[in-house]
Amino acid sequence: MQPDARFCHRCGRSLTAAAGDEVQDPPTPPNGYAVAADPFVRPWQPSRKAGLVTAVVVSVLVVLGAGLFVVQKVVFTPEAALNGYFDALAERDAETAASYLAGDRLSGDMLRSPDYQPPAGLKIHDVEDDGDDTKTASISFVVGGHEQSGKVQLTRRRTHTWGVFRDWAISDLRPTLRITTTTAVPVRVDGETLATSGQRDDVEIPVFPGRHKVDIADNPLLEADQNVVDAALGATEVPLGVRVKASAQQAAQDQVKTYLDQCAGQKTAEPPNCPFRLAFYSEVVNVSWKITAYPEVELQQTQSGAVAVRTRTGSQGRVTVTGTQSGGTPYQDEQTFSVNGGIYPDQGRLVFAPN
């Protein structure tokens, strides 16, 4: 027996082949027996092609993830939102400008008006990190030749652009014009008449940053000087001194004269809704009225926005009345009177309404 011979543990045969012997296949196990499985789990060995594909996919995902990160950090930033907003204002693109703002959108008519001047020279000095979804930017810009500066808060939007990126919205870069008038009238900003009820003498209007022109809406009775206002950050007070137009004064005088002539044309002792009448009309017939002096009137604004017509002090009207008393005796008398009422526009003309 060879010293290093090996034997089968089942049949006892020598496992060492002699020189020149053919190596034979192991015998087929008897029925009911099976070759024992390898007790060790061999690791999966990928092919060279599979490894290459895996490496390419991983590389693409890494590059894509890095690209998305760069886009989020470079394109969708608070600085980008501020620059985009001011660029849109400079181009008078109301829709784009409003898209950078959080909350309700502003009127685009103001932005497109030639009366509006957009801000310029935006500088972003610092952006403070208030948290993942809130930033505060220190900025300055020029409105009407004057530099304005302050802090602006931005918030990250909950919605995603292209389903991936979250951009920033400007929360508080919507200045307001606090317009006060001496009487309640609709006001106009940059040529746009605002949809106000006209029942208040103060109104606060949100606007875009920039230079605005403010006055009152077209009114045949009232007027106000146009104010040039620089709106930047926060609220700007805009007082409007409303006054009666000189043309309305003459129109009121003409309307009063027409009204009195209509009263005098009535052949009755007590003309209805008129400022004069007979004290004892039952005793006079064939009544006739004649205005000998027309009163001078003046216009006064009321708190509600109406314009009152009053007889100027020391300028009452005079009227002569004639008729026939019972028994055929002629009757004649002279009276003084005052006129009070209001005047209002109606279809482009002024109409006097007596009290």
For residue 227, the domain's CATH number is: 2.60.40.1120
d(CA 70, CA 246): 66
Tokens of 321: 């009345």
β-pair partners for 136? 128, 153
260 and 349, same structural domain?
yes
315 and 231, same structural domain?
no
d(CA 111, CA 190): 8
Query: 267 near 324, Cβ under 8 Å?
Result: no
254 and 347, same structural domain?
yes
CATH number of domain containing 91:
3.10.450.50
- Number of structural domains (the chain) is 3
292 and 264, same structural domain?
yes
Of 191, 195, 215, 216, give the one whose Cα is nearest residue 112: 191
Tokens of 116: 């509006």
SS (H, E, C) 120-185: EEEEEEEEEEEECCEEEEEEEEEECCEEEEEEEEEEECCCCECCCECCEEECCCCCEEEEEECCCC
287 and 350, same structural domain?
yes
Please report whether residue 309 resides in a domain. yes
Last residue of a domain, one of 111, 144, 170: 170
- Phi, psi torsion values for 283, nearest 5 degrees: -100, 0
Task: Provide the residue range defining the domain that includes 105.
Answer: 73-170
Please report whether residue 146 resides in a domain. yes
Query: 236 near 230, Cβ under 8 Å?
Result: yes
Burial 158-167 (b: 16+ CB within 10 A, else e): eeeeeeeeeb
270 and 204, same structural domain?
no
Please report whether residue 7 resides in a domain. no
| Burial of 309 from C-beta contacts in 10 A (0-12 / 13-18 / 19+) | buried
Of 111, 141, 72, 293, give the one whose Cα is nearest residue 212: 111
Contacts 24+ apart (CB under 8 A), 317-321: 317/260, 317/275, 317/291, 317/293, 318/291, 318/292, 318/293, 319/264, 319/276, 319/289, 319/290, 319/291, 319/292, 320/289, 320/290, 320/292, 321/276, 321/278, 321/287, 321/288, 321/289, 321/290
DSSP 205-251: EE--SEEEEEEEPP-SSEEEPPEEEEE-SSEEEEEE-EEE-HHHHHH
Query: 136 near 151, Cβ under 8 Å?
Result: yes
β-pair partners for 181? 240
Written as one letter, the residue type at 93 is: D
Please report whether residue 15 resides in a domain. no
* Residue 78: strand, helix, or coil: helix
pTM more than 0.75: no
Query: 118 near 109, Cβ under 8 Å?
Result: no
Please report whether residue 51 resides in a domain. no
Please report whether residue 37 resides in a domain. no
- pLDDT on residue 64: 43
Please report whether residue 326 resides in a domain. yes
Of 102, 206, 106, give the one whose Cα is nearest residue 154: 102
191 and 108, same structural domain?
no
pLDDT by residue for the chain (355 residues), tens digit each?
A: 445 555 566 666 665 555 445 555 555 555 555 555 555 555 656 666 655 655 554 444 444 444 444 444 445 599 999 999 999 999 999 999 988 998 766 767 888 899 999 999 999 999 998 777 899 999 999 999 999 999 999 999 865 554 445 689 998 788 999 998 887 788 999 999 886 655 566 888 899 999 999 999 888 888 999 999 999 999 999 999 888 998 899 999 999 999 999 999 999 999 999 999 987 656 888 999 999 999 999 999 887 768 999 999 999 999 999 999 888 899 999 999 999 999 988 887 889 999 8
271 and 220, same structural domain?
no
Residue 302 CA neighbour count, 13 Å, CB half:
13
DSSP one-letter code for 53: H
Please report whether residue 198 resides in a domain. yes
268 and 347, same structural domain?
yes
- Cα distances from 111 to residues 81, 98, 167, in angstroms, run 19, 11, 24
